[in-house]
Amino acid sequence: MGVIQRREERFAHLPVGVRLRDGLSYFASATPARFAVLIFVGLIVVFTVLLLLPGMTADGETTDFADALFTATSAICVTGLSTVNMATHWSELGHVIIVIATQLGAVGVLTLASLMGLVVSRRLGLRQRLLAAGDVNPMALNKGGSSDSPASRLGEVGGLLATVALSALVIEVGVALLLLPRILLEGVPILDALIEAFYFSAMAFTNTGFVFSESGLTPYLDDVWFLGLLMIGVVLGSIGFPVIYALSRNLKLRKIKSNRQARWSLHVKLTVVTTVILLVLGAAAFSILEADNGSTIGGRGPFHLGFQALFMSVMTRSGGFSTFDIGDLNNASLLVTDMLMFIGGGSASTAGGIKVTTIAILFIAAFAEARGNASMEAFERKIPGDVLRLAVSVVLWGATTVALSSIILLQLTGDSLDRVLFDVISAFGTAGLSTGFTASLEDPGKYVLTATMFMGRIGTVTLAAALAASQRRQLFTRAEERPIVG
């Protein structure tokens, strides 16, 4: 009550427009988690309605509600799973609408994640704090003044949104222009090729993985240039905005030959190192497990095997493209993919999953415990103990969501755990790869998987923010007691 009154007094003399803006900003920063959920639910409702219009389908028929909701959610959450054939079911206009949805979803989640995970929750200046996490010298910027009035806060949100959108545009256009010549080589007319190049680039950077052309990836299955560009797009999208910012800052410093030492923040180092480790481990695992599987990537020489295994490994980060039928993978490879998709990509990125820093924190904790260190450390920095609690919360949330969704879908369909768990984790981690299970679902199953996609995309981000935001003061201390563990 006191807070609200004070706010009323402070703003009473301002014009209505400013008050509305400040009110919105206040709501966004006071309950960032609820704000994020509202925005995403709103976007999904709008795009479901749009996709239900008759002009959206190739044959002019109205799409089933369950399929429209599923597609809208899959697009907004940049998941990439589909219950209809994405290339043939929708009209040209439908494709445009879906691409717009993925762009809004990707930029929206990038911005929200950046805002919430880093900033609003800790009650600090938005932009400073976000840039600090990706900055070359975090110690200096951390002490930068934070302007905390609602008006300046909304200005910061706007600035951040613009920066994120601009980065996305620059990368997507860059990748599209590099893809273009290769598509022209296939004899595609220039305008169609431009659209196709941009579609592929957007689906890669946003980590969606929809394929809109009827031939799909078929012409480029062995093309190192084409697949390589898709990989770069997916990695840049999945590594997270703070890391992209740090990399571009680094590039700038080098260009002007600055003498300032380019230092990466702990977050950037952790993300980059864990991502590289996961990519290498994934590629190695797929190379070994699929070496003899001629239906997927085996039996065509070591270069083909290694390159395709790396492509597959990158796509689990949560790109979602595939050069073969995922259902043909050995069951062991499906399990490896499950694990990689569950981990997902970087924080404040277009990728999903519990995030690479989360798993890194768990291993750092175990390592510290094994060495008997009193504190968790990485790259000569100490990591506060409450970060581990946050990581454990995110993993428990993810495991619970995946378990519940799997149990319900197993019981609904009677399908095998191999197929169900794969598509559920793909939905949760917004990876978008599928064994074919998703396409076989009836309406109740589609709704369960829609909910799983939403939980996976919104859950970890808002959970982390909501938890980080709710710092209570302890009024008294308890006697300490140690239970046995393990």
Total Cβ atoms within 10 A of residue 158? 12
452: contact with a copy of itself by CB under 8 A: no
**Which one of residues 28, 33, 39, 118 is an interface residue with a copy of itself (CB under 8 A)?**
118
Rounded-to-integer distance, Cα 160 and Cα 31, Å: 19
Q: Indicate the residue among 146 and 207 with the shorter CB distance to K ion.
A: 207
Structure tokens at 425: 């984790």
Nearest to 355 by CA among 317, 386, 320: 317
**Distance (Å, whole) CA 307 – CA 283:** 8
Query: Considering CB distances under 5 to 8 angstroms, the limit depending on partner class, which of a copy of itself, K ion, none binds residue 138?
Result: a copy of itself
Q: For tokens 């400013």, name the residue.
A: 18
At its nearest, how many Å lie between K ion and the CB of residue 349?
Answer: 12
Q: How far is the C-alpha of 476 from the C-alpha of 142, rounded, in Å?
A: 31
Q: CA-to-CA distance for 362 and 356, rounded, in angstroms?
A: 10
Residue 481 touches which of K ion, a copy of itself, none (CB < 5 to 8 A by kind)? Answer: a copy of itself
Name the one range near a copy of itself by CB under 8 A: 53-61, 160-168, 244-252, 411-419.
411-419
Footprint of K ion on 204-223 (CB under 5 A)? 207, 209
Subset of residues 157 to 196 that bind a copy of itself, contact rule: CB under 8 A: none
Partner that binds at residue 10, options K ion, a copy of itself, none, CB closer than 5 to 8 Å by kind: none
Any contact of residue 474 with a copy of itself (CB under 8 A)?
yes
Does position 141 bind a copy of itself by CB under 8 A?
A: no
374 binds, among K ion, a copy of itself, none (CB under 5 to 8 A by kind): a copy of itself
Show the site string, 360-399: x = touches a copy of itself by CB under 8 A, - = not.
Answer: xxxx-xx-xxxxxxxxxx--xxxxxxxxxxxxxxx-xx--
Cβ-based nearer residue to a copy of itself, 257 or 482: 482
Residue 33 interacting with a copy of itself (CB under 8 A): no
Among 25, 40, 50, 80, binds K ion (CB under 5 A): 80
- In whole angstroms, the minimum distance from the beta carbon of 429 to K ion comes to 8
CA distance 356 to 239: 9
Amino acid at 43: L
Residue among 356, 461, 385 nearest 121 (CA):
461
Stretch in the footprint of K ion (CB under 5 A) among 80-88, 185-193, 284-292, 463-471: 80-88
Question: DSSP assignment of 122-190, as one string?
Answer: GTS-HHHHHHHHT-S-HHHHHTS----SHHHHHHHHHHHHHHHHHHHHHHHHHHHHHHHHHHHHTT--H
Q: How far is CA 373 from the centre of its chain?
A: 33
Verify binding: residue 105, K ion, rule CB under 5 A: no
Residues 236-265 that bind a copy of itself (CB under 8 A): 240, 242, 265
**Interacting residues of 476 by C-beta distance below 8 A, sequence separation 6+:** none
Residues forming the site for K ion (CB under 5 A): 80, 207, 209, 318, 320, 432
